[in-house]
Amino acid sequence: AGTTASADATVTIEQEQLEPIVADFSLSQNPDNPFNFTFVASAQGGTGSFTYSWDFGDGQSQTDLPTPDVAHTYGNTGSYTVTLTVNDGQETVPVSRNLSITQQSITPILPDIEEVSSDLTQIYNAATNPDQETPRDTSSIAIIGDQTATDPNFLAPFASGRNYTLADGTDQLQSVITRFENSLDQRRSLSNINEMIQASPRPECEGQTELVCYINERNAITVIIGVGYQDALNMTNPAEFADRLTQAINQAKGANAVPVLLTLYPSNDATMQEGINAINQVIIDVGASNNVPVINVWRGLSGLPDNGISGTTPNVDPSGEGFLSPNTQGGINAMNFFTLSTLNDIVNQVFD
């Protein structure tokens, strides 16, 4: 008889040991919209096939995205915890980063002070030359125009003898407040740019324009030039307005005062906003072409609730008059923060 042999065979299939997922993400801020961010995830290990879920920290999220990049726009300044969760079907890995959107991070100052400091230094040196008949007072500032001069909250709360509060992160502005505190509550109110650059009707200003006369009255080392709603409403020729604003800049420089321009703040009225957008673009272009700092308050206030406006004028943070913080929700407070920050940069880069 035949013999049959049999054997038991054991087959072992070893499962591939996967490397753990290592995840991270980067973020970038949109230079044209400081509340808009792009997040880009990176992931290695695992099965290599990932989905990406995002929690933006403001109550908004996107889940199971097949691609690693996503954009998100925040509604307000504040601190947010952004969490990315990477999933490969077998493992889930979260990673979080803190994101802070402050008024300071919005940086509505154009151009950068360092880019124009050489031109401003020449003006400063001429203004403080001891051979001058009347050297400029380096602690005096002139504020002139419509937008700035008609609002009593603009910089005035920080004048000598007034009560104000510096919040965390703004204490570096104390020195510039102290320097200019005797002139922060003084201003010259005018109806439009024409009135500023034409010969003054005041007897004490004979032979001078309103702008030059006020600079001389204040013996100011720097002048903040603001235009108003009447200029926005009446501007039918942008080139003509640009010429008038350039005249104002040249008059200030000729008077040995460092000029600083302000854009108009936003409006909640759509018709008015159209004119404001047009005039602000001219202000920014004129500032850039003349190497003059422009405080773009429109950009800063446009990120605040209701554009930082109550009715037709900037509102004040409820924390109290003079409260100054890069996280403020008040339009006037934001204007003051940007303006004082710019003056601080000018002092640090040019004056001292």
Instruction: Choose between 166 and 287: higher pLDDT.
Output: 287
Cα 102 to Cα 78: distance, rounded to the nearest angstrom: 6
For residue 244, which phi and psi values (nearest 5 degrees)?
-65, -40
pTM: 0.69
Instruction: Check residue 10 and give its pLDDT.
Output: 66
Please report the pLDDT score of residue 1 as a whole number.
Answer: 55
Are 264 and 229 in contact by the 8 Å Cβ rule? The answer is yes
Mean pLDDT of all residues in 218-234: 87
Q: How far apart are CA 311 and CA 128, in angstroms?
A: 43
Residue length of the chain: 352
Which residues lie below 8 Å from residue 94, measured CB to CB, with a gap of 6+? 23, 83, 84, 85, 86
Q: In the chain, what percentage of residues exceed pLDDT 70?
A: 87
The pLDDT, as a whole number, for residue 106 is: 46
Per 3-state DSSP, the chain is made up of helix, strand and coil in percentages (nearest 5) of: 35, 25, 40
CA distance 192 to 201: 15
The model's pLDDT over 281-309, given as tens digits with 9 standing for 90+, comes to: 888 889 888 989 988 887 777 767 787 88
Computed over every residue of the chain, the mean pLDDT equals: 84
* All structural domains of the chain: 22-101 (2.60.40.10), 104-351 (3.40.50.1110)
pLDDT digits (tens, 9 = 90+) for 27-65: 887 765 667 889 999 999 999 999 999 999 999 999 999
More confident residue, 58 or 322: 58
- pLDDT for the residue numbered 18: 84
